[in-house]
Amino acid sequence: MQQALDRAYPGDTILIKPGVYHSGNVVVRIPITLLGEGYPVFDGDGKFEIFTIGAPNVTIQGLRIIHSGHGSIEDVAGIKAIQSRNIKVIDNQFDHTFFGVYLANCRNALVKGNVLSSDPSAPEIGNGIHAWKCDSIHIQSNTVHGHRDGIYFEFVTNSLIEGNMSYNNMRYGLHFMFSHHDTYISNTFRDNGAGVAVMYTQGVTMINNRFLDNRGSSSYGLLLK
């Protein structure tokens, strides 16, 4: 996979055939679309971050991404985008990844229609969709379960979380920290330690969300702090 990317030109689309790929850490350095046919599998063998994006205008769609490495120091992810804009992560399946999708210093990202699952009994586990120091991102119609927090925002502004299902996560279905002027609408949070935590955050709009069967020692539907 890395060889195909290194030969590609900005704006290309790479069609990925069905199969199982043990490609290690794939680094995306140019604007490009990676489009899977029949959900090709990218297996990190429990060792690697699977895709690392360091370019704008990248789309990853229709892949199955499994067995990333683990490590809270480096926050290993299935897909990580760093200092990028106009990133699209669409209709992918994540299974047993430490973090699923990790956005750091990104603008105008779209994370839509993905299914992210992990093992809540694992000794270490990250968040399903994790965003840090981002602006104007859209998290839409994803299903997230078995992570620490289903969706986590820290220093994220002017962003929308819409139509997601976040369930059976260890801590929160959705967690805001120092994240201002965001909106979450028409999401369902079920069977989490607690539903949604809004901490040290201002100007959050909450519309038509459902909070069901939260079960932790502090089993709030909605926590405002």
> Which of the four pLDDT bands, split at 50, 70 and 90, describes residue 216?
low
* pLDDT score, position 143: 99
Which range, of 78-82, 135-139, 163-167, 193-197, averages the lowest pLDDT? 193-197
Residue 218 has pLDDT above 70, yes or no: no
b/e per residue 132-152 (b: at least 16 CB within 10 A): bebbebebbbbbbbbbbbbbb
Q: Where are the beta strands (DSSP E) in 41-171?
A: 41-43, 51-53, 59-61, 64-66, 77-82, 88-90, 93-95, 99-104, 110-112, 115-117, 129-132, 138-140, 143-145, 151-154, 160-162, 165-167
Instruction: Tally the domains of the chain.
Output: 1
Pairs from 180-183 (Cβ < 8 Å, separation ≥ 24): 180/204, 181/157, 182/153, 182/156, 182/157, 182/158, 183/159, 183/207
Question: pLDDT tens digits for 100-111?
Answer: 999 999 999 999
For residue 82, which of 34, 141, 130, 127 has the smallest C-alpha distance? 130
What does the block give as tokens for 137? Answer: 């991102």
Residue 125 φ/ψ, nearest 5 degrees: -155, 145
Residue-range definition of the domain harbouring residue 23: 2-224
- The average confidence (pLDDT) of the chain is 96
Question: pLDDT tens digits for 33-45?
Answer: 999 999 999 999 9
- Domain at 79, CATH number: 2.160.20.10
Which range, of 72-76, 84-88, 164-168, 185-189, averages the lowest pLDDT? 72-76
